[in-house]
Structure 1
Amino acid sequence: MSGRGLLRNGDYLKLLSGQTISALGSAMSTFVFTLLAMAITSSPVQAGLVGAAYALGATLSSLPAGAVVDRTSRRLILISCGLAGTVLYGSVAVAGWMHRLTIWHLLAVALCSGVSTAFFMPAETAALRQIVPAEDIGTAVAANQGRGYVAGLAGAPLGGLLFTVGRVVPVAIDALSYLVMSALLALIRRPLGAPETHDAKPEPMLRSIRSGITWLFAQPALRTIALVATALNFAANGTILVLILDLQQRGVRPSVIGLLETGMGVGGLLGAILTPKLLAMFSTGAIAIVGSWIVACTFTATAFTSAPATLIGLLSIAMLLLPALNSGLFGYQMLITPDHLQGRAQSAVMFLATSTQPLAPALGGVMLASFGHRTAVGVLGAILTVASLLLTLSRPIRSIPLLSEVKAATTV
C-alpha cells in the first residue's frame, strides 16, 4: 500500500484539498461559536447548548441521511452540503456585522450544520470508495485522519487570534472555506452518481433504513466494530471531561489544561503519519486489538495521577495507534460494504457512536462530583477494557488480514 498512487489521483486530491480547507475553517468556527454564545448570553449553560444543538442535529439525521445517500447522487449531496455551510455560516457573519446576532440564530445554525454533517459524512465515504482504488483505501483514510488532527491543532489558536480582530471573522472565513470546498468538489471528474442497483423502485425510507442496519449487524466483524466504536467513543469522551474538570478544580491554569488537547492532537498526528506503514506491516485485526488495549491502559492509568505533564504524556501515547485502528477498521468496513449500502452502513455506525456522546459528559460529571476523580476514571476505564476484550475475543476481528488483502465488495 503506497501513497504514490494517491498523489497521481487528481480527483482524490481535489476531495482531500477541499475537505482540508473546510476542516480548518470548521475548527475555527467551532471554537469561536462558544465564545460568541458566551458574549451574547454571558451564560455558560446557554453557550453549551450550541454544541448540544449540533450533536442533536447530527444524531437525529444520521439514519435517514444514510438512506438518502444510497439513492441519490453523491456529488449532488456533497456540493449541496458545502453550499449549505456557506449560507449557514455566512448568515452568522452578516448578522454579527449588523449587530443582529442572537443565541437563537447560533442554535439554529448549529442544528442545521449537524444535519448537513450527517449527510456529508456518508456521502464522502461513498465518494472516497468510488474515487480511490481498493489498495489505497487505508492510506486515504489515514490522510483524512491526519487532516482532522492538523485542523484541530491549528484551528482553535487561529480562530482565537482572528476573534480578537473581529468576532465573526473566523466564521466568515469558514463560510468561504465551504464555498472553496464546493468548487473543488464540482471539479471532480469521476462520476459520483447514485449507486446502481437492480431494483426498479427504491425501498420506502423506513424499510431502507432497516435493511441497512440489518445488513450491517449480519456481518460479525462490522457488528463488533460498531459496538466497540460506541463504547470507546463514550468512555474516552467521558474520561477527557473528567480530567479537565478535575484539573480545573485543583486550580490548574486553563492554558495548561488546554495542553491535554494539544498532546492528543500531536499524538494523533504522529500516528496518522505512521499509519500507512503500520497497515502495510501488520494485519488490521492485530492493529485494532493492540490499539484498543493501549487506549484502555493509558486512559485508565490517568486515574492514578493528577500531574498535568504525566496526563499529557499518557493521552499522547493513547492516540498513537488510534489513527491506524480507525483507518484499518473503517477502511475494512468501506471495502466489504457494497456500494448501494455505503451510506447506510456508515450512518448506522455514526449513529451508534454519537448517540451516547451527550451522556458521557453528564455521567462523568456526576461520578466526579459523587465519587472523585479516581473512581470516575476507573469506571470509564472498565468500559474501555470491556471494549478491548470484545475485540480480542472476536474471531472475525482477529481474522481481518492486511487491508491490502481484503477483497472489495462488488457493486450489488
Structure 2
Amino acid sequence: MAIDDAPPITGTAAEPVAGSPAAERGSLLRNRSWQAFWVAETLAAVAEQSADIAYPLLVLSTTGSAAYAGAVGSAQLLATGVLSVVGGTLADRFDRRRMLMLCNSVRAVLLGAFCWMIAVGTVPIAVTFAVALLSAACFGITMPTQMALIKQLVRPSQLTEATAQNQIRWFGAITAGPPVGGWLFGLARALPFVSSAVAFVVSNLLLMLVKVPPAEKRAATSAGRGTMEGFRYLFRHPVLRPLMISITLSNMAFNTTGIFLAVIATAKDRGASDGFTGITLALAGAGGLLGSLVAGGVIRRTPPSLVFMVGYGIGPIAAMALAVVPGVAPLGVIIACVFVRGPIISALFLTYAAKLVPDDIQGRVLGAIVFTSMVASPIGVLAVGAIFETGGSFWVFVMVAVVAALGTLPTFTRGVRTLRPLDEITS
C-alpha cells in the first residue's frame, strides 16, 4: 500500500467519560489509579529484572557453562518478543488490569515453587530453562498490556507526561534490578526469586486499587486476522512505519546486551579490572535513567521531528567515537550519551502511538511494536561476538556505526519531517 493510503495523523477518541477516574483527576499526582498502577508496575519490573539476572547466575554456578548461561538469556529474549504479539491481541479482547494481575500471580506461584526446589536440592538445568521461559512469556504478555492500559487511566492531554513517567519506571528497573538480583544471589541462591515472588504479590495488591473506566466492547475477530491487524496498521502508517524501522535498527546496534558485551570484551583487551569495567557499565546504564528523568521536558520544548532526527543522528557519531577513543572509562561516557536519548525517543514514539492508534487495536499495535523492536537484537548480539573474535573492537564499533547510520535514514521521510506537535493531535 502506498504511503498516501495510510491512516491519517488524526484521532477521534474523546476525553474520558465524566465521572471516570481519568476525568476526575486534575493532575497525574492526584490520579490515585495512575499512581497505584505506576508503583505496581515498577515493582513488577524490578522483580522481573532481578530474577532475569539470577537465572544465568544459577545456571553458571551449577553447571559452570557460560554457553548454557547465555542460552538462558537468549531464550528469554525470544520468548518475550513472541509472546508480546499474543499479549497485544489479548489486551484488545480482555480486561487489561486483570491480565496484569493474572500474569503477576502466575509468576509469583512459579517463583515460589522454584525457590522451594532450590532449597531442597540442586535444580536440573531443564527446570531452570522452563521457569525462565514461562516467566519471560508472562513478561511478554504484560508489556503491550500495561502500555495499552495507560491510555485508559489518564487524560489525552496527560499522555505525554504519563508515558515519560513510565520510562522512568522502565529504565529505573533496568538500572536497579540486575544489581539487586546479583547481590541477593550472592547472599543465597533462592533470595532473588523469593524477593521477586513477594514483589509480584505486592504489585497485585496495588493493582486492586486501580479503577479503570469501562471501555467500549471490542469487536470479536478471528485469531489470525486479529493478531496480524497490529502489524498491518503499524506498517501502513506514514509516521509509525519509518520510525519503527529506525527503532529496530537502533536496537540492533545499541541493545544493552550487545553493546555491554562489546565494552566488556574491549575492556578486557585493554587490561581493565573487573571492578573498573563494572563501574564503566554502571556509568553507561545511568544514561538511560537520566534520559527518562528529562524526557518529559525535552518533548514539551523540542519539535518532534528534531527529537527523532537528532536522537538517531547521535548513534553513528557515538559509534565512531567508540571505535577510536582510547581507554575504558570514556566508553561508558559515550554510551551514556547514547542511552540518554533512548527514553526520550521511546516516550515520544509511544505517545504518538497512543494518540494515533484506535483503542480497539491499541494492544495489537503495541504488541507488534514490542516484537518488531526486539526481533533484530539477537542478530546484533551475535554480530558483536563474531566480529570481535575476527577483527577486534574497532570493527565491532564500525559495524555498530553502519547499522546506526541506516537507522537515521527513515527520519528524513516526509511523514517524520512534517510531524505535527503532540498537542495538535486529538487522541
Please classify the TM superposition score into its range, dividing by the shorter chain length.
over 0.9
Q: Which residue of 281, 306, 324 maps to 1:261? A: 281
- Aligned residue type for 2:247: A
| Structure 2 residue 425 is the aligned partner of structure 1 residue 403 | no
CA distance in 2 between partners of 1:262 and 1:370 (Å): 28
Shift of residue 314 of structure 1?
0.7
Q: Judge conservation of contact 1:295–1:319 (CA < 8 Å) in 2.
A: no
- One-letter identity of the residue aligned with 1:229: I
Task: Decide which moves more: 70-79 or 258-267.
Answer: 258-267
> What SS is found at the alignment partner of 1:322?
helix
Question: Does structure 2 conserve the Cα–Cα contact (< 8 Å) formed by 1:367 and 1:376?
Answer: yes
- Structure-2 change in CA distance of 1:386 and 1:208 (3 Å): same
Q: Which residue of 1 aligns with 2:16?
A: none
> Would you say the 8 A contact 1:279–1:403 is kept in 2?
no
Write the distance in 2 (CA, Å) between the matches of 1:85 and 1:365: 32
Alignment-derived partner of residue 241 in structure 2: 223
Deviations along 1:159-210, whole A, 9 cap, x unmatched? 23322321111210001111111121122112366x534x4xx221111122
CA distance in 1, matches of 2:44, 2:398: 37
Q: 1:69 — aligned with what?
A: 91
The one-letter code matched in structure 2 to 1:98 is: V
Q: CA deviation at 1:324?
A: 1.3
Partner of 2:377, secondary structure, is: coil
Helix, strand or coil for the counterpart of 1:321? helix
Deviation at 1:4, TM superposition (A): 7.5
- Closer, same or farther in 2 for the Cα pair 1:213/1:155, shift >3 Å? closer
Q: Give 1:196's aligned residue.
A: 217
Please, which of 389, 403, 411 is the counterpart of residue 383 of structure 1? 403
* 1:306 CA drift (Å): 4.1
| 1:309 corresponds to 2:329 | yes
Matches within 5 A, 1:65-104: 65-104=87-126
**Contact 1:78/1:123 (<8 A) preserved:** yes
Alignment equivalent of 2:350, drawn from 321, 324, 330: 330
Whether 1:152 and 2:170 are equivalent positions in the alignment is: no
- Residue 335 of structure 1: SS of its match in structure 2? helix
Select which of 298, 304, 309 maps to 1:278.
Answer: 298
- State how far apart, in whole Å, the 2-side matches of 1:64 and 1:154 are: 28
Shift in Å at residue 100 of structure 1? Answer: 4.2
1:320 maps to 340
Contact 1:25 1:174 in 2 (8 A): yes
Change (3 A) 1:244 1:382: same
Find the residue that maps to 2:239 and give its secondary structure: helix
Asked if structure 2 preserves the Cα contact closer than 8 Å seen for 1:272 and 1:324, the reply is yes
More displaced 10-residue stretch of structure 1: 64-73 or 344-353: 64-73
SS of structure 2 residue aligned to 1:358 = helix
Unmatched tracts of structure 1, length 5 or more: none
Alpha-carbon distance in 1 for matches of 2:153, 2:78: 31
Q: Match for residue 46 of structure 2? A: 24
Normalising by structure 1, we get a TM-score of: 0.92
One-letter amino acid matched to 2:380: A
Q: Is the 8 A contact 1:282 1:402 kept in 2?
A: no
Contact 1:79 1:182 in 2 (8 A): yes
What CA distance in whole angstroms lies between the structure 2 residues aligned with 1:21 and 1:239?
Answer: 26
Question: What letter matches 1:218 in structure 2?
Answer: R
2:263 pairs, out of 243, 249, 260, with 243
| TM-score normalised per structure 2 | 0.89
The question of whether the paired residues in 1 share the 8 Å contact of 2:230 and 2:366 is answered with no
Q: What one-letter code is carried by the residue in structure 2 that aligns with 1:355?
A: V
Amino acid at match of 1:401: R
Q: Give the match for residue 371 of structure 1.
A: 391
Which amino acid in 2 is paired with 1:217?
F
Instruction: Give the whole-Å Cα distance in 2 for the aligned partners of 1:259 and 1:331.
Output: 33
CA apart distance, 1:111: 0.9
Q: One-letter code of the match for 1:231?
A: L
Q: Distance in 2 between matches of 1:101 and 1:137?
A: 45
Matched, 1:340 2:383: no
